[in-house]
Amino acid sequence: MPNIENNITLVTARVNQAAIAAGRSPDEILLLAVSKTRSAEDIRSAINAGIREFGENYLQEAVEKIAQLAAENVQWHFIGPIQSNKTRLVAENFRWAHSVDRLKIAQRLSEQRPSGLPPLNICLQVNIDNEASKSGFATEETEAAALAIVQLPGLKLRGLMAIPRAEPTYDQQIVAFRALADLRDRINQSLDNSEKLDTLSMGMSGDLEAAISQGSTMVRVGTDIFGKREQQQ
């Protein structure tokens, strides 16, 4: 049984050290605990250790856990693929959606976000390495998509998300992260001050230091918090 609270202490120390090494404040970086396939009990252990933001990939499982933990003061982020027939559940149950990879998905989330909830925070998923196996906007398509999506009611476009190709060294890892940060900066030149993107969702257990060095504001960590998980069928 992993010691979740101890793991969170260790990961938080890594995040803080990476921020200081990059000349940044640790307060600029949110540690998002990726809790897919984890039990409500495991999530409660993380809550007790101070985590308040959780990322989920599997929608039905996530909705069940959100209901189980409704009394907890936490925010839920959807970080898995968003299919057209699943947008309503995402719009109704989450505070953030990181994996918006098509204009159609953003339009459906906009239409289906309940009026009684605050705007859904979204990130555009960018296929930063142009990998055929991955979803996401092509780099050259992202700015036009952002300019369209920022106008949609019920949504707040916050930034960009990417899952770069796994690279073995720090110097190789920073290349894709720098490219995503540069893309965010280019898009911001076309946006009004009230619309500017403030979020870079990038970096996971194996490359969070490189991501933070390039301006990540949100790192998504699962295994290093909760331990190795069973494969989802």
Domain boundaries defined on the chain: 4-226
Yes or no: say if 37 and 232 are a contact pair by the CB < 8 Å rule: yes
Helix (H, G, I), strand (E, B) or coil at 96: strand
Tokens 């209901």 sit on residue: 67
Specify the pLDDT at position 232. Answer: 47
Q: How confident is the model at residue 77 (pLDDT cuts 50, 70, 90)?
A: very high
Please give the average per-residue pLDDT across 188-203, as a whole number: 97
Q: Report the chain's mean pLDDT, rounded to a whole number.
A: 96
CA distance 202 to 164: 9
Regarding beta strands 96-100 and 75-78, do their DSSP bridges make them parallel or antiparallel, or are they unpaired? parallel
Specify the pLDDT at position 231. Answer: 52
| Count of other CB atoms within 10 angstroms of residue 216 | 29
Residue 156's beta-bridge partner residues? 121
Specify the pLDDT at position 233. Answer: 40
List the one residue out of 44, 46, 14 whose CA is nearest residue 29. 14
User: Where in the chain does DSSP place strands (E)?
Assistant: 30-34, 53-56, 75-78, 96-100, 120-125, 155-161, 199-201, 218-221
What pTM did the predictor assign? 0.95
Q: How confident is the model at residue 184 (pLDDT cuts 50, 70, 90)?
A: very high
Q: In the CATH scheme, what is the code of domain 4-226?
A: 3.20.20.10
Tell me: the pLDDT tens digits for 109-152? 999 999 999 999 999 999 999 999 999 999 999 999 999 999 99
